Structure 1
Amino acid sequence: MSYAFPKKITAGLTFRHSINLTAYPASIWSITIFLRGATAIDITAAKDGNLHIFNVPADTTKNYKAGHYGYSLRATDQNGNVEEIEAGAIEIISDLASLSDPIDSRTHAQKTLAALEAVIEGRATLDQEHYRLNNRELWRTPLTDLIKLRNQYRNEVAREQAKANGQNIFGKVIRVRLG
């Protein structure tokens, strides 16, 4: 059972999240999220009626180290019984306002697409796919394979951009009228 704990937290921003757990009412249970990754972070929820409220100020989250973390959402009752409600993965994203050094914020697909296009461009002037020099051989990836990979990454980048712009990630919608 998933309680839709966020998959990302941005360092330097206030983190707010509330959970209504009918099986773990706030009057009896306290809820803590344990994050383990680049550092250890423990966040205990405050109680508001039967809601469990996570509220971490920006002054605290600004010290969170970016990276991928595992998490365990746990409930503890008044008798010391502990139950894991949910476990999974979460990402802490760097606060862009705190970064002063240049960064490459492109996705993996964008970086790979640029690298493939650079290789294809460089290969446009080379005609050998394979050659031997002093008992050493060099095999180049066939141009057809590079183009196939480039097209695959172009599609992935287009899906990422569509998703970022709130568009349909599967492309155009084709409406059909029956009858």
Structure 2
Amino acid sequence: MEPTRIHAGDSAAWSRDVPDRPATAGWGLRYVFSGPSRQVVEALQATPYQVEVSAAITSSWAPGLYRWVALAFRGDQRLTVASGTLDVMANLETADPTDARTHAQKMLALVEAALEKRIPKDQQSYEIDGQRLDRIPIEKLNALRLQYRRELQREKNTSWPTGRPVFYRLR
């Protein structure tokens, strides 16, 4: 079974059985990955076919979502025998530091910062030199804060190690 997620720089191995196109009849199997970059991996001639991708090879793969196809080939014959997607995650040993917060975490921080700045300045809008600036109403910011708190709660519930949801009271 092909992996659905790997980290760049990790090795990966899997097998694929193609009974109609066996290696013993002169067939080969090739995987083509297309996404942020294009990668081609040849399977080892065995029954079932064996695929081994070394850490040195995946270390050059750009992070992102790849579509892949498994192609059986012999001479000028070719047949797509399987397809899917592979999510290549960044190699954290070599990747630049990044903000690992989710979208909801980032947005909640921004909304709360906006609310903190709005409280001392009770202006809804103002105009300077003909340029008008309207601020997001506090009610809308509060609604956004509640929306992103709920989204964060859903993230926590689905990532809980026991698989059981945990309920929190949001205020």
Q: TM-score, normalised by structure 1?
A: 0.74
What is the distance in 2 between the residues matched to 1:25 and 1:146?
62
- The equivalent residue for 2:30 is 32
In structure 2, what is the equivalent of residue 114 of structure 1?
Answer: 109
1:61-76 alignment to 2 at 5 Å? 61-69=58-66, 71-76=67-72
Report the CA distance shift for 1:139/1:22 in structure 2 as closer, same or farther (over 3 A). farther
Q: Does 1:43 find its partner at 2:38?
A: no
Q: Deviations over 1:42-90 (max 9, x none)?
A: 11222442x2332111122122222333x23132243533233444543
Amino acid at match of 1:155: R
Report the equivalent of 2:86. 90
Alpha-carbon distance in 2 for matches of 1:52, 1:165: 37
Distance 1:150 1:27, change over 3 A: farther
Q: Secondary structure at the match of 1:96?
A: coil
Equivalent residue letter for 1:7: T
Aligned to 2:55: 58
Secondary structure of 1:150 counterpart = helix
Equivalent pairs counted in the alignment come to 166
Structure 1 unaligned regions, length at least 5 = 173-179
Equivalent residue for 2:12? 15
For the pair 1:149 / 2:133, whether they are aligned, the reply is: no
* 129 and 47 in structure 1: CA distance in 2 versus 1, 3 angstrom threshold: farther
**Deviations 1:95-153, CA, capped at 9 Å, x for gaps:** 11224x43222222222222222222222222122222332211112222222222222
* AA in 1 matched with 2:49: H
Is 1:110–1:157's contact at 8 Å kept on the other side of the alignment?
Answer: yes
Deviation, structure 1 residue 26: 5.1
CA contact 1:24–1:75 (8 Å) conserved in 2: no
Residue 162 of structure 1 pairs with residue 153 of structure 2: no
Cα distance in 1 between the residues matched to 2:42 and 2:90: 22
Provide the aligned C-alpha RMSD in A: 2.8
Mapping 1:128-147, distance limit 5 Å: 128-147=123-142
Query: What is the CA-CA distance between 1:171 and the residue it aligns to?
Result: 5.6
Do the aligned residues in 1 keep the contact of 2:18 with 2:81 (CA within 8 Å)? no
Is 1:103 matched with 2:98? yes
Contact 2:4-2:87 at 8 Å conserved across structures: yes
TM-score by length of 2: 0.77
Whole-angstrom distance in 2 between the partners of 1:42 and 1:168? 37
CA contact (8 A) 1:31 1:73 kept: no
| Shift of residue 41, structure 1, vs aligned partner | 0.9
